[in-house]
A and B are shown apart, each in its own frame.
Chain A
């Protein structure tokens, strides 16, 4: 069948896409380039007449006003680079070309594929080495693309049918060495104890396991799904004395001892589900409950930033769908290497932090915007430790009527898969390329990379919310890590299931049964549906173009049976699969914190120090990222990520009033993260980020007694005792801080083994990083407070920080003793309408917070505090603006906290910030300029 290749290019020389590429090329140091033309390629296969071809181009592929088209011929312009997707990489455009062609009445179009061509122009001759360099540094990701200097042909996926290959693995009589070798060869990450448990089980059932069974056990018992480290017994080698907790000698599970224990001890009546479901759930009002989940997608984002972040967003949205909730807000917290990193210093095989950042941000944008969920809250941090191992935290908030989430599959219910087709996506991630593959897809490495399809997931949302309201299903789980194996395995935990993989719809041929079962293909959900409700579900699916596949039935046999074309390939007892994993026994070495002394108190030049801080990448405006996320869709964003007179002040937290809810209630979303503290003192780091998340929420008006927390630990290899020791210290900090503020944890996730092998041959771990996300309730959104200064002559108060704290000699601040009372008092003042603006002190301390308030309001401020206090980074501190006539009343709310409250100045009409003993004013315009110019 002939393949036709169309080239579509813009008419105008001013092509924004080409201009953007050139900026990126220059940022990477390729200054000799003067232009990078970028054209689209569409490959269409079929017997097509000349008239068909011109109709396809004119009516489908090309915008007649802004683009021109031609068929690709033999001519090859100088400096040409073409790229196509590797076979198996999701290409939603290709499917739509076929659909559109058929709609146009051109049925002979059989298949389609897409690509791009780039033509480089430079101040000097470019040789092939230059072009290869350009391609690899900027234009191509070898994980998903093929490229050529010159023209390239697209490769098409073949029609899909599965292979029936099932292998038996020999474990029953294997030696310890052989068991460990098997674990290693199949990248199962199981230790000897775990391998022996598997051996014992199969000895007892008197047969060898199939590869499907082994892979399923490895998945169920993986760190990701089984949380082995957080559930392990840990003995402590050398505990630290702490003023707040007794030293431990043994810990009976980190999760149980610290995180869940805090939640149980606080016993907040408004917590509806903590650590049970795939997302934590709290009460919203009498009618609704809200759920929140935050996940990481670090390794996939390191390898293919766009796809990694894209599917990270898609995955966490499914977590929320998995508790039958409608997703209503997304969050993203991102940690990258320095953007100006010298290319020569980049470890081999690692993408430049700039490419990682732009890919990750584009991935979040693509998924969130297209699925129609506002991305409202987040943070971006830069540190050299994140160069090879970026952190991508994706969060999602959902809302559902109370008690509408069914959790129990009934024997006889159909096992229904909804959504996308199954491919090799995400199968053991990046290591897939070195694994056994069939000949036809010899270069299908890229197929294991996941790229999302938000429109398919949007269809899932539409169907599931309606199916929930119609009570069509008895249980629901998302397909995330571990795919069907994990989803069906979890749902069948208390009963059983019997499914046949031959029913699963595939993207391309040759998948072995274990690959189908374990595939992490995106945009799939599993529901347990009574036979009698199946046709109702099918009707909903037909309306929203969602695929429904019945793959078997839930049972009550206590066994999980998986077949391939009726032949049994998995027969595992639930008891063994879910409770048979031996508990790990780990050793931790809790070392004393590093007491690095605090930044020098004496700052000779306050002005340049402040301007420099405002331009620091971790502090400077993130508007360039925030504005490419749709933070308005669904119409409920009451406090936006950017606020103030010119809409560019950084909000402490965002507030959502969910569409379709009655009354005045809102949801407050905020977060705390500090990688710098993590390097020095994990205990205080945890305390500090809990305080930061809560402080941010309180600053916009959240009720301090209605704050729930989520933890996301990103750490190195926990088998190293000192790494585990730091983790335990941080968990202990979480416990103490949660109790201090009476803020329960409702969900959490750990991502361990965030390490990479450096060119020096050593393993490098990321800075120990804990993200705390907070979800809170505000009773009346009409009482929200934003951070921008509002009125000339208003009085400015400093809460929390006092001169005593500013002299404590430690780089990491301690738990602020009075903060809970302070926050409650401040909240009461806000409820009485006494607070006009409020902003928390975080990175850069008081001076930066004051500058940001000036920027937000485009107003000046005059503050009288001594220089020592200006840049101190502390916990539990805020700046508050109050109208002069309300000062007495405001102070009365805080009278029993006198040491924590101080009038320090006022809002002025001179558009200048005047701070420090020298009282040298800085124009607000200068602050704005510095803040918008990231170093």
Chain B
């Protein structure tokens, strides 16, 4: 049976359709479910094998992107999310979903601890939409494990600058193989903080991180917006490469084999 993905929709979520489409293409069954339907117990967390928190502007990014959705998760669904994660089900937060996960303390730490890292305003000071190149890193992360080819996909955010409380935090991420995806140049070498390859000023070119167990991934770019070749900005120049689809296939395969 195909694994079922819970695509979580909060007021202001707007990349849910693309996430649903990517998961369907990757072999899963997607269902877009509003928070209120889970609160009303119309839908059950236990019915799903994967959780995706898609991009958008939940609650209009009020008080910091993802902040109020993080609060919803903590207040209404602490037990459900904890159980989902601790039993090893794959979870992905993309863009606004990553912002919510990091602010609720579910990535790169776990169990709603006090955050040691955050996503803040882009170094350039404004929202930006452009394509980036991502080098998959972590072999611990179930989403990036085994990915060899770089992923090309757009970023579209104003608060995607990954910052850490202290260098020890960064050291831990490296030591634990929690850096899932890094911004890189066109030739695959590290962006080294250089704009626009690293589009937002993130420390250590970090585009995505996972939790210590490796089943929860948060990333700012949108691999769900590159699942067909015609979505690539240079496909009319014959460039057909760097699909984001393998990332979703990885997660779905992992869920199916558990």
Interface of A toward B, CB cutoff 8 Å: 16-17, 19-20, 59-61, 63-66, 92-93, 96-97, 99-100, 103-104, 365, 369-372, 453-455, 458-459, 542-545, 627-635, 637-640, 642-645, 647, 657, 659-660, 781-782, 784-786, 788, 790
CB pair B57 A455 closer than 8 Å:
yes
CB pair B15 A372 closer than 8 Å:
yes
Interface: B110 (CB within 8 A): no
Chain A, Cβ-Cβ closest to B116:
A65
The answer for the CA separation of A17 and B127 in the assembled complex, in Å, is 12
Interface: B84 (CB within 8 A): no
CB pair B230 A635 closer than 8 Å:
no
Chain A min CB distance to B197 (Å):
12
Interface: B36 (CB within 8 A): yes
Given contacts A66-B118, A455-B57, A647-B234, 15 further A-B contacts (CB under 8 A): A60-B63, A61-B63, A96-B63, A365-B127, A370-B12, A458-B12, A632-B129, A633-B14, A634-B18, A638-B230, A638-B231, A640-B233, A643-B233, A647-B131, A659-B21
The answer for the CA separation of A638 and B127 in the assembled complex, in Å, is 21
> Which among B67-75, B135-143, B175-183 touches the partner chain?
B67-75
The answer for the CA separation of A370 and B116 in the assembled complex, in Å, is 28
CB pair B125 A631 closer than 8 Å:
no
B21 contacts which chain A residues (CB < 8 A)? 635, 659
Contact among A63, A100, A542, A627 with B129 in the assembled complex (CB-CB below 8 Å): A627
Known A632-B222, A660-B17; contact A100-B120, beta-carbon cutoff 8 A: no
A92 contacts which chain B residues (CB < 8 A)? 60, 62
Chain B, Cβ-Cβ closest to A66:
B120
A99 contacts which chain B residues (CB < 8 A)? 68
Contact among A100, A371, A454 with B68 in the assembled complex (CB-CB below 8 Å): A100
CB pair A103 B71 closer than 8 Å:
yes
Interface: B204 (CB within 8 A): no
Known A92-B62, A458-B14, A633-B14; contact A369-B225, beta-carbon cutoff 8 A: no
A628 contacts which chain B residues (CB < 8 A)? 126-129
Contact among B12, B115, B125, B128 with A65 in the assembled complex (CB-CB below 8 Å): B115
Contact among A16, A97, A455 with B125 in the assembled complex (CB-CB below 8 Å): A16
B213 contacts which chain A residues (CB < 8 A)? none
Q: Which of B67, B68, B230 counts the most chain A CB atoms within 10 A?
A: B230
CB pair A20 B230 closer than 8 Å:
no
Chain A, Cβ-Cβ closest to B20:
A659
CB pair B11 A647 closer than 8 Å:
no
CB pair B62 A93 closer than 8 Å:
yes
The answer for the CA separation of A932 and B93 in the assembled complex, in Å, is 35
Chain A, Cβ-Cβ closest to B229:
A782
Chain A, Cβ-Cβ closest to B118:
A65
CB pair B15 A65 closer than 8 Å:
no
CB pair B130 A627 closer than 8 Å:
yes
A-B contact pairs, 18 of them (CB 8 A): A60-B63, A63-B118, A65-B118, A65-B120, A93-B60, A93-B62, A371-B14, A458-B11, A458-B12, A630-B127, A633-B156, A642-B233, A643-B236, A645-B234, A645-B237, A659-B21, A782-B230, A790-B237
The answer for the CA separation of A784 and B118 in the assembled complex, in Å, is 41
The answer for the CA separation of A784 and B232 in the assembled complex, in Å, is 13
Known A65-B115, A96-B59, A103-B71; contact A635-B11, beta-carbon cutoff 8 A: no
B81 contacts which chain A residues (CB < 8 A)? none
A635 contacts which chain B residues (CB < 8 A)? 17-18, 21, 224-225, 227, 231
Chain B min CB distance to A348 (Å):
31
B130 contacts which chain A residues (CB < 8 A)? 627, 647
How many interface residues does B have (CB within 8 Å)? 58
CB pair A630 B129 closer than 8 Å:
yes
Chain B min CB distance to A631 (Å):
6
The answer for the CA separation of A186 and B21 in the assembled complex, in Å, is 54
B56 contacts which chain A residues (CB < 8 A)? 372
Interface: B117 (CB within 8 A): yes
Interface: B37 (CB within 8 A): yes
Q: Interface 1/0s, chain B 155-175, versus A by CB < 8 A? A: 010000001110000000000
Contact among B13, B17, B57 with A369 in the assembled complex (CB-CB below 8 Å): B57
Interface: B34 (CB within 8 A): yes
- Contacts of B11-40 to chain A: CB distance below 8 A: 11-15, 17-18, 21, 34, 36-37
B231 contacts which chain A residues (CB < 8 A)? 635, 637-638
The answer for the CA separation of A326 and B237 in the assembled complex, in Å, is 32
Known A100-B71, A627-B130, A788-B237; contact A659-B17, beta-carbon cutoff 8 A: yes
CB pair A16 B129 closer than 8 Å:
no
Chain B min CB distance to A41 (Å):
13
A544 contacts which chain B residues (CB < 8 A)? 11, 34, 36
Known A545-B36, A630-B129; contact A66-B63, beta-carbon cutoff 8 A: no
A16 contacts which chain B residues (CB < 8 A)? 121-126
Q: Which of A16, A93, A628 counts the most chain B CB atoms within 10 A?
A: A16
Contact among B60, B64, B116 with A63 in the assembled complex (CB-CB below 8 Å): B64
Interface: B114 (CB within 8 A): yes
The answer for the CA separation of A103 and B13 in the assembled complex, in Å, is 20
A785 contacts which chain B residues (CB < 8 A)? 236
B246 contacts which chain A residues (CB < 8 A)? none
The answer for the CA separation of A542 and B116 in the assembled complex, in Å, is 36
The answer for the CA separation of A19 and B121 in the assembled complex, in Å, is 12
Chain A min CB distance to B218 (Å):
15
- Contacts of B81-130 to chain A: CB distance below 8 A: 103, 114-118, 120-130
Chain B, Cβ-Cβ closest to A371:
B14
